[in-house]
Amino acid sequence: MRKNNYPLFLILIITYSACFAQKKALKETEYKYVPDNLELYNTIVAMDSTFFQAYNTCNLDKQAAIYSDNIEFYHDKGGLMTVKQDLIDGTKNNICGKVTRELVKGSIEVYPIKDFGAIEMGLHKFHNNTEKERMPSQSSKFIIFWKNDNNIWTITKVVSLH
């Protein structure tokens, strides 16, 4: 009878070892962002807050001041916009008083780009304020290219994915 239990025992040991190894591998791939440059990170987080405060309150002049004249706005559903005034007009007609943006806390990552500025990546949610019953908003990804020109930060490119 002992001989018959050996294969079962061996299978249990192999299964346990495989599960333990898989759990360890998953644990090793956990990712936690730590900024390389805390000052740059704080600057970009502040710029993000300034821009989206203007977005949420429909301060179009402030938004226009932060957008580069050579803006490229890539939207997975809306396509590419490259005319700054069209982007501002679209915000005025489709966003103001209707939609607000909420940053997903702790999601921002900032990476310096030598001789240019920085790239910001993160998650945010958009809330449709015209709905009587607010539907829960799903998080979506964004990438913003920030150009630093003598300490004046402007948005040159946006990638918005929903």
- Measured CA to CA, the distance from residue 110 to residue 26 in angstroms comes to 25
- How far apart are the C-alpha atoms of 109 and 126, rounded to whole Å? 19
The second-level CATH assignment, the architecture, of 38-161 is Roll (3.10)
Q: What's residue 18's pLDDT?
A: 58
- CA–CA distance, 103 with 48 (Å, rounded to integer): 9
Tell me: the pLDDT tens digits for 119-149?
999 999 999 998 877 778 899 999 999 999 9
CB of 155 closer than 8 Å to CB of 68: yes
**Domain chopping of the chain, boundaries:** 1-30, 38-161
Give the chain's mean pLDDT.
89
**Separation of CA 88 from chain center:** 21
User: Which pLDDT does position 3 carry in this prediction?
Assistant: 57
For the cut 80, the answer to whether the pLDDT of residue 14 exceeds it is no
pLDDT above 70 covers a percentage of the chain that reads 82
Greater confidence, 14 or 59?
Answer: 59
Q: What is the mean pLDDT of residues 14-24?
A: 58
Give the model's confidence band at 29: pLDDT under 50 very low, under 70 low, under 90 confident, else very high: confident
Query: Tell me, what's the pLDDT at 1?
Result: 47
Q: Cβ neighbours of residue 68 under 8 Å, at least 6 residues apart?
A: 84, 147, 154, 155, 156
Provide mean pLDDT across the span 84-102. 96
